[in-house]
Chains A and B, each alone.
Chain A
Amino acid sequence: MQLDWLVQPLLTQLNTGVLVLDAAHNIVYFNQFIARRADIQLSDVSGRLVYDIFADAPKAWLQRKIDGVLALQSPAFSSWEQRQYIIKLPHLRPVSSGSQHMAQNCSMLPFKAPNSAEQFVCLLIEDATDAYVYQQQLQHSMAQLELANRTDGLTGVFNRRHWQHELGQEIQRAKRYQHPLSLLLFDLDKFKQLNDQYGHQGGDAVLIELSGIIAALLRDTDVLGRYGGEEFGVILPETDMAGALLVANRICAAAGHQMLFNGHYINATVSIGVSSFSGQTIDELIQQSDIALYNAKRQGRNQAVAWQQQPETYLKKVK
């Protein structure tokens, strides 16, 4: 059976772009897939350099690839995952996709004319926009999941697990580069009383507002996290004890403002314990801030206290 008649309609109907170049990278042939999407006619551009017709194509890279196919007589590939597209073409999902251009998988195959030894390269271009779009959605979901995994649901600051991980990293960095690092642990004063008086929603509102006020006081490199119920921590990289006390006092002053909840003015204050890194482990550093925080509470609340080496007996009493 003679099947030659099949080739033309097949190439026309094929849902893959077929673009054939000669050894000098001039356009020899392309099928309807390319003609319609690029809005060009073969008769107009036949014999022209492919880079002149597709001016947006990555010329240097594509030249190297095609020369490789010709020299080695072996195929080359390009995946949308590494290079979204080779030639800019529209795709058929303009609404559902965030990208204007067709994501492409491309195979570049060597051909030799049967009678002459003339060499050609055939570029097969497949539309991978669907995969591209799914990948984008997946990455977006992953990013959201990762964010949720790091964030405290109520206040939007980092959760304890992530905050503590960050502290570990900062300690490593401070140790390696001999840079200062300080740690604040603070606690809302008389939070239980506040909850009893205004209900848990009142307590929650205070936590949310307080997180916002404090976050606004910090530098981009400082790390605020919710350590437990009404306890928060702030990692202050590149900050010594004097600098950390300044920040702590600023937080005390800012938190002291009245907050409006359901028509009531709530008076919330915080107590802060401050410690600085000098070779301690992460647990020791947290413990020192914690002890300083207890001392701030003992000394009348609404204040920042720096950690100091205490006599053994006093430590036991505090605990």
Chain B
Amino acid sequence: MTELRFTEEQRDCLQELINVAMGLASDKLARYLNTFVHLQVPAIRLVDTEQLPEHFASRYEQQSVTMISLGFFGDQGLRGETIMLYQLANVDVIAKLLGYSNDDSSEAEMLTDISSVLTTTFLNGLAEQLENSFSYAAPRILSSRDQHFADKLASTAEQWQLALQVDIRYQLTDYSFNCDMILLIPGEAMMRLRLILDQFLASF
């Protein structure tokens, strides 16, 4: 597995690209949501997929968590899956954020909607940075109101070699919410990603 690791430089480069992508996304989101959105610079960590479930289980402890997956495909074998984790206590805030009233959308629909907005906006920015473009599969709910979501996360994560944990924290004027995004990338796509990062580094 060691050959799949990033070098220090590659990781810094990726962090930088993600920061830029996140910046692009927050700008678009602020305009779309028509409110002052303060997106903090995301904290990014490369995580061992084996450690992921444990990490998130302790992070959310006994709280109800909804887990939503969205797959993406790019050119040249770049592909992966994003997983968004939400605390259900945040659902009302998300509804307000999207301008939904309670009666016209279900909780599941609100969560899949916010997930596709957050992930595709961010990933489009990332694709742009990588001089690629992504197409997306519809988001789907992996588990909901589930205290044992870590088990499902384990069975999802074990198919992937690299996990990139991105903490996203949204702060709006009157309320705030945060959610976690995990970027899962398979081994072949990661090799490809490393090549692209090397090209980037060479051009500086």
- Does B113 belong to the interface (CB within 8 Å)? yes
In the complex, what residues of B have CB within 8 A of residue A60's CB? 104
Give the interface segment out of B28-36, B74-82, B180-188: B28-36
- Does B98 belong to the interface (CB within 8 Å)? yes
- Does B179 belong to the interface (CB within 8 Å)? no
Residues of chain A in range 42-83 having any CB-CB distance to chain B below 8 Å: 58, 60-61, 64-65, 68, 71-79, 81-83
- Does B120 belong to the interface (CB within 8 Å)? yes
Inter-chain CA distance A61–B110, complex, in Å, is 11
From B98, B136, B140, A79 is in contact (CB under 8 Å) with B140
- Does A99 belong to the interface (CB within 8 Å)? no
Inter-chain CA distance A107–B137, complex, in Å, is 9
In the complex, what residues of B have CB within 8 A of residue A78's CB? 109, 138
Number of interface residues of B (CB under 8 A): 23
Chain A, interface size category, equals 20 to 34
With A61-B104, A82-B108 known to touch, is A72 a contact of B98 (CB < 8 Å)? no
CB pair A61–B105 under 8 Å, yes or no, is yes
Q: Mark B26-66, 1 if CB is under 8 A from A, else 0.
A: 00110110000000000000000000000000000000000
Inter-chain CA distance A65–B113, complex, in Å, is 9
Residues of chain A in range 178-197 having any CB-CB distance to chain B below 8 Å: none
Q: How many A-B residue pairs have CB under 8 A?
A: 51
- Does A105 belong to the interface (CB within 8 Å)? yes
CB pair B120–A75 under 8 Å, yes or no, is yes
Residue of A nearest to B122 (CB): A74
In the complex, what residues of A have CB within 8 A of residue B99's CB? 64
CB pair A72–B138 under 8 Å, yes or no, is no
In the complex, what residues of B have CB within 8 A of residue A83's CB? 109
Inter-chain CA distance A121–B112, complex, in Å, is 19
CB pair B124–A73 under 8 Å, yes or no, is yes
In the complex, what residues of B have CB within 8 A of residue A68's CB? 32, 117
CB pair B105–A107 under 8 Å, yes or no, is no
In the complex, what residues of A have CB within 8 A of residue B29's CB? 72
Inter-chain CA distance A75–B112, complex, in Å, is 12
In the complex, what residues of A have CB within 8 A of residue B139's CB? 77
Binding site for B on A (CB under 8 A): 58, 60-61, 64-65, 68, 71-79, 81-83, 105, 107
The contact sample of 9 A-B pairs, CB cut-off 8 A, is: A58-B104, A72-B29, A72-B32, A72-B124, A74-B121, A74-B124, A75-B136, A79-B112, A105-B138
Question: Given A72-B29, A73-B28, A75-B116, list of 5 further CB < 8 A pairs?
Answer: A58-B104, A64-B100, A72-B120, A81-B108, A107-B138
